[in-house]
Amino acid sequence: MASGPLNGYKIIELAGIGPAPFCAMLLADMGAEIIRVDRTIPADLGLPQPREFSVLERGRKRIAVDLKQADGVQTVLRLVGQADALIEGFRPGVTERIGLGPEDCWAHNERLVYGRMTGWGQDGPMATAAGHDINYIALAGVLNAFGPKDRRPLPPLNLVGDFGGGGIYLALGVVSALLEAQKSGKGQVVDAAMVDGAASLGAAIYGMYAAGTIVGERESNIVDGGAHFYGSYKTKDDKYVTIGSIEGKFYEELLEKTGLTHEDLPDPRERSNWDGYREKMAEVFETKTRDEWDQIMLGSDICYAPVLTFDEAPKHPHNAARGTFVEIDGVTQPGPAPRFSRTPSAVQSPPEDTGANTDEVLTAWGFSAEELDRLHDAKAIA
């Protein structure tokens, strides 16, 4: 039995890349039974890697189905008939053409929550255009806010589009629609678009911009690295530390620990002072190693932390004590989040290979041995 609050919920994932698999990982970590439906012939995405490194695919069974065959589509529809939700990340209209669109699915199961993950959304003039994270966050107005002011905007990896503004929006929408379906007995479409999600993550930023308390230029505001009291600084050993001393009492502590004074940095809230003050602050931080700053700062309320690399973060005493990272099949990876006190989430299983569980899953979901033989013979499943 899977652990986690979603134990007992059944979700079909039509295989894709990026945000939809991330959504499925979150739901699987929380205990939902996810069946990932892959193609019988794997797509060549130019990024081949052994299954254990495909962290987003952990915690679920994988079946391979040929969706170009009617038998394949019917096979998925039989699963849909027993599922609580389906998630897919094709361009708009594709599942309809396959015969697995919302109406096709509701004909088999009117309670089904139909989760759709795209970059641009299900409609609008750019709906069918190709794109990636960087494009979606560009259109949401947030990419322009990331990076130094004298350089081009820089994508924060794909954290704001694919994941923070994408997959987790779909997960939130799906669980919300599941709650509603319990009352109404009806499913619906959840349209999660990364443009919408990335914009939504910027709700506070847009509010502050409208209020005139932030400006549109990069690195010119408090939380974009513009202010000398909020940002990252290089240390003597070429590592980095972060400070976030926004509140007055924390700022006083920052001055005390860095040895800077109000005479050195008069009028610290005045934007036009910040470039120069950042330089002064940078000079101070370069005089000691990161570990030395740890010793000085960690006992204080400065809002300080060392900047950790991928290799360091899992080993940091706080992360180790919390079990923030786990090791699955030799691969160190972030563990399930958030945490539940009574029904803890878990990495239910390592990532599987494509089609690793086809017969096992279909048998468990009610297909007979004869049916499996026939579907295999027709190459509708693999």
Partner 1 sequence: MGPLAGFKIVEMFCIGPGPFAGMMLADMGADVLRVDRPVERDYGYPDHKYRTLYRNRRSVALDLNTDEGHETLMRLIEQADGLIEGNRPGVAEKLGMGPDVCLERNPKLVYGRMTGYGQDGPLAQKAGFDINYISMSGALHAVGHADRPPVPPLILAGDFGGGGMFLATGMLAAMLEAGRSGEGQVVDASMVDGSAALMSYIYGGHAAGAWANERESNTVDGGHYVYHAYECADGKYVSVGALLDNFFENLRDKLALDPAEFPTRTTRDTWPAKREKLADVFKTRTRDEWVELFADTDACLAPVLDLEEAPHHPHNMERKTFTEHGGVVQPSPAPKFSRTPSEIVREPPTNGQHTDEALTDWGFDAAELAHLHERNAIH
Of the candidate spans 33-41, 72-80, 116-124, 372-380, the one that interacts with partner 1 by CB under 8 A turns out to be 116-124
Residue 287 as a binder of partner 1 (CB under 8 A): the answer is no
Residue 111 as a binder of partner 1 (CB under 8 A): the answer is no
Site size toward partner 1 (CB under 8 A) is 156
| Nearer of residues 117 and 260 to partner 1, judged by Cβ | 117
Choice from 39, 131, 288, 382 touching partner 1 (CB under 8 A): 131
108 in active site:
no
Distance in Å, CB of 71 to partner 1, minimum: 29
Residues 134, 75: Cα–Cα separation, whole Å: 36
Q: Quick check: helix, strand or coil at residue 115? A: strand
Choice from 20, 25, 76, 112 touching partner 1 (CB under 8 A): 25
Choice from 177, 260, 281, 381 touching partner 1 (CB under 8 A): 177
Q: Are the C-beta atoms of residues 341 and 51 closer than 8 Å to each other?
A: no
Q: Which of 162, 191, 196, 224 is catalytic?
A: 162
Residue 1 as a binder of partner 1 (CB under 8 A): the answer is no
Binders of partner 1 in range 45-64 (CB under 8 A): 45-47, 49-50, 53-56
Residues 187, 65: Cα–Cα separation, whole Å: 25
> H-helix or E-strand containing 12?
strand 10-14
Distance in Å, CB of 370 to partner 1, minimum: 35
Residue 154: partners with Cβ closer than 8 Å, 6 or more residues away: 146, 147
Residues 188, 254: Cα–Cα separation, whole Å: 51
Residues 355, 60: Cα–Cα separation, whole Å: 11
Residues 280, 260: Cα–Cα separation, whole Å: 9
Q: Angle 86-139-199 (CA atoms, 0-180°, nearest 5)?
A: 65
| Nearer of residues 327 and 373 to partner 1, judged by Cβ | 327
Binders of partner 1 in range 67-86 (CB under 8 A): none
Residue 42 as a binder of partner 1 (CB under 8 A): the answer is no
Distance in Å, CB of 374 to partner 1, minimum: 35
Omega prior to 338 cis, within 30 of 0: yes
Q: Mask 156-175, x = binds partner 1 (CB under 8 A)? A: xxxxx-xxxx--xxxxxx-x
Q: Quick check: helix, strand or coil at residue 14? A: strand
What is the rounded end-to-end Cα distance, in angstroms, of the chain?
Answer: 26
Binders of partner 1 in range 295-354 (CB under 8 A): 298, 301-314, 316-319, 321-322, 324-325, 330-343
Residue 94 as a binder of partner 1 (CB under 8 A): the answer is no
Distance in Å, CB of 241 to partner 1, minimum: 8
316 in active site:
no
Long-range contacts of 362-370 (CB under 8 A, 24+ apart): 362/63, 362/75, 365/35, 365/78, 365/79, 365/82, 366/78, 366/82, 367/75, 367/78
| Nearer of residues 301 and 373 to partner 1, judged by Cβ | 301
Distance in Å, CB of 310 to partner 1, minimum: 5
Choice from 92, 153, 273, 372 touching partner 1 (CB under 8 A): 153
Residue 33 as a binder of partner 1 (CB under 8 A): the answer is no
Please list the alpha-helical segments (H only) found in 3-42.
19-29
Residues 69, 249: Cα–Cα separation, whole Å: 67
Residue 9 as a binder of partner 1 (CB under 8 A): the answer is yes
> H-helix or E-strand containing 257?
helix 248-258
Rounded to whole angstroms, what are the CA distances from 131 to 124, 137, 179, 193? Answer: 14, 10, 32, 12
Binders of partner 1 in range 233-272 (CB under 8 A): 233-234, 240-244, 246, 250
Q: Are the C-beta atoms of residues 228 and 265 closer than 8 Å to each other?
A: yes
Residue 289 as a binder of partner 1 (CB under 8 A): the answer is no
Enzyme catalytic residues: 132, 162
